[in-house]
Amino acid sequence: KVNMPSPYVLELGSGGFSFENCIRNSRLQASGEKSTLKLKVKKTGTTIAGVIFKDGVALGADTRATSGEVVADKNCSKTHYITPNIYCCGAGTAADTEKTTDMLRSNLALQILSMGRNPRLIMASRILQDFLFRHKGQISAMLLLGGVDCTGPHIFTVGMALSTKLHLQQWVGISSIFYCMWTQEDDAKLLVRDAISAGIMNDLGSGSNVDLCVIRKNGTECIRPFESSNYKCERQGKYKYPEGTTTIVKEQTINLDLVEETVQQMEVAQ
């Protein structure tokens, strides 16, 4: 009999606080290494949320688009229309999520014309999964797909890591994406609002307003914005400076003479 090592290793925590990173940071600063001296703040990016209530789905997202450390757009829409019964929230590169959802919308539009009815959520999920798999993770798109079909309300997540998941459990949380199910509609709206607001408050990559999309069996309601951000900064000073604040080092004036002027009549169709 050969005793094989168990693949499950139980690692017990030491308990208490750990200040290893503080010691590391102080050593990096004392060493003067330029390549390792600059420590960047952790940014998780977009915050999107999904809640399944009794007869529908509530999706929400923030409205801040960033380019590195620069806020590129304060009021961008991260909730994309797919079909009358399906909407999609996107996180990742804005261009990738926009083109991916455009592809899904056009494919499902053809399916609606062919079948004469609204498509199922699993069909939309499979199209996204096949599309992202063909590009082997080169498309930076993390998508939260929600809607109501003939089998009821559903939420799918399709990630750039080629993973697809149907969420049936009560509570799930992954990074800046949040899911829940089986609440009342009003409670679902407030829960999505609170989740997005928490991301806006605690994450540098999330900000501005809260957008909400409620998908029901009998219709869809998109509220933009559902709530404006309460974390707006006020200007502390005046940014208009009087003339003469900046010293003029050298001044030169050149007069340009008109050499030739021609006028050409534009042809107008009779």
Q: Which amino acid is at 7?
A: P
Confirm whether 44 is a catalytic residue.
no
Catalytic-role residue among 36, 46, 246, 253: 46
* Segment 156-161 long-range contacts (CB within 8 Å, at least 24 positions apart): 156/121, 156/122, 156/124, 156/125, 158/125, 158/128, 158/129, 158/132, 159/132, 160/92, 160/132, 161/137
CA distance 179 to 147: 13
What is the distance, to the nearest Å, from the Cα of residue 18 to the centroid of all Cα atoms in its chain?
33
CB 90 within 8 A of CB 100: yes
Residues belonging to the active site: 46
